[in-house]
Amino acid sequence: MSDVEQRTDLVSVTIDGIQVSVPRDTLVIRAAEQVGVQIPRFCDHPLLAPVGACRQCLVDVPDAGNGRGFPKPQASCTLPVAEGMVVQTQATSEVADKAQQGVMEFLLVNHPLDCPVCDKGGECPLQNQAMSNGRGESRFAGSGSGGVKRTFPKPINLSPQVLLDRERCIVCQRCTRFAEEIPGDPFIALVERGAQQQIGIAEDAPFLSYFSGNTIQICPVGALTSESYRFRSRPFDLVSSPSVAEHDACGAAIRVDHRRGKVMRRLAGNDPEVNEEWITDKDRFAFTYATQPDRITYPRVRDRVEDGGDGSLRPASWPEAFAVAARGLAAAGACAVLPGGRVTAEDAYAYAKLARVSLGTNDVDFRARPLSAEEESFLAGHVVLTGPGDGGVTYADLERASSVVLVGLEPEEEAGTLFLRLRKASRRGLRVVSIAPFATRGLRKLSGTLVQTVPGREPGALRELLGHADHGIDSRAVVLLGERLATVPGAYTAAAELAARTGARLAWVPRRAGDRGALEAGCLPSLLPGGRPVADAAARVDAATSWGVESVPETPGRDADAIVAALLTGEVGGLVVGGVDPDDTADPDATRRAVEAARFVVALELRETEVTRAADVVFPVTPVVGKAGTFVTWEGRPRPFEAVLAEAGALPDLRVLSGIAEELARLGRGAPLGFRTVAEVRAEMAEIGPWDGERATFAPMSALDTPSTDDPLTTAGGAPGSVLATWKQLLDDGAMQAGDKHLAATARPAVARVPRTVLDALGPVVTLTGDRGSVTLPAEAADLPDGVVWVPTRSSGRGVLADLASPGARVTVKGAEL
Amino acid sequence: MTAPDTLTPVLTATWADERSWTLDSYTASGGYEGLRRALTMSPDDVIAEVKDSGLRGRGGAGFPTGMKWGFIPQDNPKPKYLVVNADESEPGTCKDVPLMMASPHTLVEGVIISCFAIRAHTAFIYIRGEVLHVVRRVQAAVAEAYAAGHLGRDIHGSGFDLDVVVHAGAGAYICGEETALLEGLEGRRGQPRLRPPFPAVAGLYASPTVINNVESIASVPSIVRHGAAWFASMGTEKSKGFGIFSLSGHVTRPGQYEAPLGITLRELIGLAGGIREGHELKFWTPGGSSTPLLTAEHLDLPLDFEGMAAAGTMLGTRAIQLFDETTCVVRAVLRWTEFYKHESCGKCTPCREGTWWLVQTLAALERGQGSEADLDLLLDQCDNILGRSFCALGDGATSPITSSIRFFREEYLAHLTHGGCPFDAARSTAWAGQEALA
């Protein structure tokens, strides 16, 4: 059946005398690639709509398939194949070759001869194709009284990050077409005409797109450069290593270009299944965090006052630090593990195993953010162990879906690669429905429909989707659940109900790169590695057998919030903590006090933080660029990568943890982890494999625990103030964006969004006051329901959780002056 | 006057009437009778009438008008549009502007009949923005037509509705290219669109659209009123009917001469009182600067689509610019080329960069700089532009150069040997010989 379909869908053409069958509607330029002929091109890009502007790809078509030829050379990038078509490229046709050489000569008329100082030199399609398809000598300079090139003042800023050198631009429109078609950010456009035609921005609207860096990468000349990379290196001095972006749960393929042990730039990798050829600016530019001066470069141990020391952290050798950490944890009583959400799956596995095998506890939780037991149950029941080909929703599934519902998720801010795929699908007819307090710019770019919802009322909104004819939730629909739903009791329950009743598929989209991998690796109090439920004796036996230990702890562990509480009460004394920022947690003040209250804290960190300053032993860990690992995408797709650089002075988390475990074993606490390298962990993870027994079942919230679906504005007991809506912006004060001021300058400013009536009443600056403090921000109007305000979570001060209130809590809004 | 009966004033017949542009004046001379007749016919019959007349597009390309209308897919559920291309900007072309000034109702009536035929209920008249007086006159005519019931709802009880929008362009030659015009009309940057889809299928607002020149549409009322056979009785076998020939330059009485297609330039010059006193024809453009120029040896060629094609040029817009022997062809060609450089929209490489370079090479030649090899270079540049650019603007830019080198190679070389232009530019001016001596 499919064979027949394929055959009828194929068109046979002859290119340079070679017959080739290609799918209908294939463009001649790509059909030619099938026979090994590369037709030179500039404006053509396989992921952008054809435009036929540069005319570089002209070919001769002696037979269009109807027995007649085209009288003039045709642009092969806009010409679809036709049955029986005959094409002669530059390889066999003098007409095509001359046409191409002519266009190339024209392109160089106004192109500066600054290749020796141009960043693109060495990887420049214009340079390369001028060599392959151009004439050796220019006739321009020797013509008439000597050709005079058009000149422009050297580069102008399109944004704080992206610069345009107009002289070099060949106005192929790749950048403008990208901006309009792919992210929907048409901030750049053609202006002026003729040879003066150039790319421009409006005076008050710079190219502030989260995806602007892609234009630099697809620019076929050196016209677009970044402030970050401009003049830094030559392509032929760079070593390119493939990797995976560490900034979100999207798993975008990237290429890391480095020179003498230093990352110079990052580019989008090409992975049609995941990010196609695009990445966010954060994935592209945010890598300097790994080279900040506050990087920890050696282990530190505290000379504790009670041991006669002065209480300060001092440098230590690795063996000493391992031994001190082990002794301290052994003496601290019950211990807990908080790995944070940024670790690789292999590192997460080491944290999970350390907790169970060395520390004898299930008190491990990767969630360094507001969380809930409902969420944990949902992850165990619906998310873990799913993946592509395993019931998991994939990027490609989004393009095939009839509708996608977004709940607790703002993809443009929280999962940029996912946003681009949604936009691609929405341009082809996908219906996007967002359950959110207001229609964001991102939603408008998805041509989405807003189901306006006050924070906390998402469960009711999900239930109301049932049978809503316009939104068409059926078995072809996908519901994407953001991690923020953990702050909404009943949301996961309502989503599961919706899926059960309609057949719609669910996917959970966390923000951090390590979250999903940590879930699979068992960094939850109720889950062992491979989705083995702690509550299932068979699963515990299976894990213990694999690990060669007698047993694993059977008491379900504490989640991160409970760990914090237990540290404060002293029930838990020892803490092994990874990259956790107290200000990201549900109660920053409590987390901060818990770290201080802990009897013994072992911190594994890249850079100095308040946690490392409070810790008793600090281990420097290797950043992603320096180690092999795996991130697991929101789909459940493993994205393994190898080390890009050799890092000295730090070790991967898993090596640190195995060092501590060995010392603990020596003290009689547990067994060694049995691995020291990423390869060994990978082998062990493969061996233990996914749980093939019964998986944990989701325990829905009972109706009693679920807040009424009535509008909390009317049921909150008349509490004063507005309901706080918040999420993180893509570019904010996050620690992993440190060090690139140009990138930071492209961030969306911190503003409080308020209903228009509030803005009119209070003026352009407002002070929000919650139970944790006040923030004063410029205000902007949004189509928010009355009684709801929105602020970005980590774009000012210590962030909303530390400075203001919890998401969904009440805040008062007053007019203020800055 | 010599042989006045070679003229066939139809479009121009009322231009000399008192306040010819008013509805009253137009109606008094039989205006809107074509519309009344058309409304008694079926739309398909109107299309057939225009097809049978043999009317070919008067904007230059000469595509059969009735056939174009027939391409509109009537089963397409989207609205259909008629767009009148009144962006007359080609150097030398000056027929639509006087027509719209002297008899705007001829155009309006044509628009109504044409829309009735293609079943369009909205029409746009895209007028070159620089000619504000014309925009105002057509606006006034449209307002008069509404007031008289020729436009609006249920026109004369026929059940046919039509609205006409007069749109002023923003000043770009490229917007005379029909797809660039559509872009401009939609409020975008005026640059030509990729085809397919063709406007007949997805034109204005991605809907089926007919785009016709002013003179084509203005010819429709007379065809409907007098019949296809009447129209086809004029002109030649494949170039039927009449057309406005715009004579400009070194001719005694420049102006608009409406005559059957196939008339010769010799006859037209005769009608215009000859080349200016004491001079002789050196070269001329048959249809604007984009059509390859001809010389005095082509005086007896029939001015129709076939006759001009046979001579290696095009009938174009019948904008006949006449130059006598005082004119330096290099200078004239350079001026035209500067125009194309200025008007190149920038979208495609050959036109954008090619015109930039052509001007420099030509300007050097005019100054007597460069070498004979630059003539071949010019021809090679033109070869790399012609048929390689995105739209016909680039092609048009090469016409004056290739044709002038073909006929006047020696004159180009004379610039090099003379060390500059051997002509006295003042002698070619309209006031030559009348200078006041200080």
Strands A74-75 and A403-407: unpaired
Rounded to an integer, what distance in angstroms lies between the CA atom of residue A263 and that of residue A255? Answer: 11
Helices (H) and strands (E) in chain A, counts: 27, 34
Kindly tell me the burial class for residue A358, based on how many C-beta atoms sit within 10 Å of its own C-beta (0-12, 13-18, 19 or more). buried
Q: Parallel, antiparallel, or unpaired for β A300-302 and A617-620? A: antiparallel
Kindly indicate the confidence band of residue A551, based on its pLDDT and cuts at 50, 70 and 90: very high
Which residues of chain B from 361 to 400 reach within 8 Å of chain A, CB to CB? 361-365, 367, 369-370, 374, 377, 380-381, 383-385, 387-390
A150·B356 Cβ contact <8 A: yes
Residues of A in contact with B172 (CB under 8 A): 193
Which tens digits make up the pLDDT trace of B166-209? Answer: 999 999 999 999 999 999 999 999 999 999 999 999 999 999 99
Number of Cβ atoms within 10 Å of the Cβ of B75: 4
Contact B172/A73, CB-based, under 8 Å? no
pTM: 0.95
Please tell me the predicted confidence (pLDDT) of residue B435.
67
Residue A466 pLDDT: 85
- Statement: residue A3 has pLDDT above 80: no
**CB–CB contact B388 A150 (8 Å):** no
Nearest CA in chain B to A171: B347
CA atoms within 13 A on the CB side of A402: 13
pLDDT of residue A714: 47
pLDDT band at A2 (very low <50, low <70, confident <90, very high): very low
Interface touch B377/A50, C-beta < 8 Å:
no
Question: Are residues B346 and A144, on separate chains, in Cβ contact within 8 Å?
Answer: no
Closest approach of A200 to chain B, Cα-based (Å): 13
Average pLDDT of the residues in A642-659:
96
Q: Identify the CA nearest to A507 among candidates A407, A599, A587, A575.
A: A407
Q: For testing the chain A interface, which of B342, B356, B395 should be mutated: the one with the most A CBs within 10 Å?
A: B356
Do B343 and A109 count as a contact with CB atoms less than 8 A apart? no
pLDDT in tens, A746-788: 999 999 999 999 999 999 999 999 999 999 999 999 999 999 9
How far CA A607 is from CA of A116, A472, A628, A654, A736, in Å, comes to: 39, 48, 20, 17, 10
Rounded to whole angstroms, the Cα distance separating A721 from A739 reads 38
Chain B residues whose beta carbon lies within 8 Å of the beta carbon of residue A58: 388
What is the distance in angstroms between the Cα of A64 and the nearest Cα belonging to chain B? 15
Cβ within 8 Å, pair A52-B348: yes
For chain A, what is the mean pLDDT? 95
Q: Chain A partners of B356 at a C-beta cutoff of 8 Å?
A: 109-110, 150, 194-195
| Cβ within 8 Å, pair B346-A190 | yes
User: In the structure, what pLDDT confidence band is assigned to residue B432 with cuts at 50, 70 and 90?
Assistant: confident
CB contact under 8 A, B357 and A194: no
List pLDDT tens digits, range B71-110. Answer: 999 999 999 999 999 999 999 999 999 999 999 999 999 9
Strand A765-770 with A810-815, pairing: antiparallel
Task: Report the alpha-carbon distance of residue A73 to residue A787 in Å, rounded.
Answer: 64
Q: How far apart are CA A273 and CA A259, in angstroms?
A: 29
Query: Quick one: pLDDT at residue A1?
Result: 40
From chain B, the residues in CB contact with A143 under 8 A are: 357, 360-361, 364, 370, 374, 377
Q: How confident is the model at residue A717 (pLDDT cuts 50, 70, 90)?
A: very low
Q: How far apart are alpha carbons B344 and B329 in whole angstroms?
A: 22
What residue of B is the nearest CA neighbor of A50? Answer: B194
Place of tokens 């270079």: B377
pLDDT value at residue A307: 80
How many C-beta atoms surround the C-beta of residue B44 within 10 A?
13
Which of B194, B330, B357 should one mutate to test binding to chain A, selecting the residue with the greatest count of A CBs within 10 A?
B357
Q: Which residue type does B79 have?
A: P
Quote the pLDDT of residue B370: 93
Mutation target to probe the A interface, by most A beta carbons within 10 A, among B175, B338, B352, B362 is: B352
CATH no. of B23-232: 3.40.50.11540
d(CA B276, CA B184): 41
d(CA A265, CA B70): 58
The sign one gets for the Cα dihedral B128, B242, B291, B195 is positive
pLDDT tens digit string along B286-312? Answer: 999 999 999 999 999 999 999 999 999
Q: Of the CATH numbers 3.10.20.600, 3.30.2020.10, 3.40.50.460, 2.40.290.10, which one belongs to the domain with range B242-324?
A: 3.10.20.600
Closest CB to B353 among A71, A109, A143: A109
Please report, for chain B, the start and end positions of each structural domain, with discontinuous segments joined by +: 23-232, 242-324, 329-425
- Convert the pLDDT of each residue in A188-223 to its tens digit: 999 999 999 999 999 999 999 999 999 999 999 999
**pLDDT at position A237 over 60:** yes
- Eight-class DSSP state of B164: E
Chain A contact for B349 (CB, 8 A cutoff): yes
Q: Which pLDDT tens digit goes with each residue over A495-532?
A: 999 999 999 999 999 999 999 999 999 999 999 999 99
Q: Considering the domain B329-425 in this protein, what is its CATH number? A: 1.20.1440.230
Query: Nearest by CB to A144, which of B355, B361, B380?
Result: B361
Beta-carbon separation of B347 and A53 below 8 A = yes
For A108, name the nearest residue in chain B, comparing CA atoms only: B353
Instruction: For an interface test with B, give the residue of A48, A57, A103 to mutate (most B CBs within 10 A).
Output: A103
B302/B181 Cα distance (integer angstroms): 32
pLDDT of residue B431: 84
Nearest CB to A194: which of B194, B346, B388?
Answer: B346
Judging contacts by C-beta atoms under 8 Å, the chain B residues touching residue A194 are 341-346, 352, 355-356
B198 secondary structure, DSSP code: P
Q: A190, B194: Cβ pair inside 8 Å?
A: no
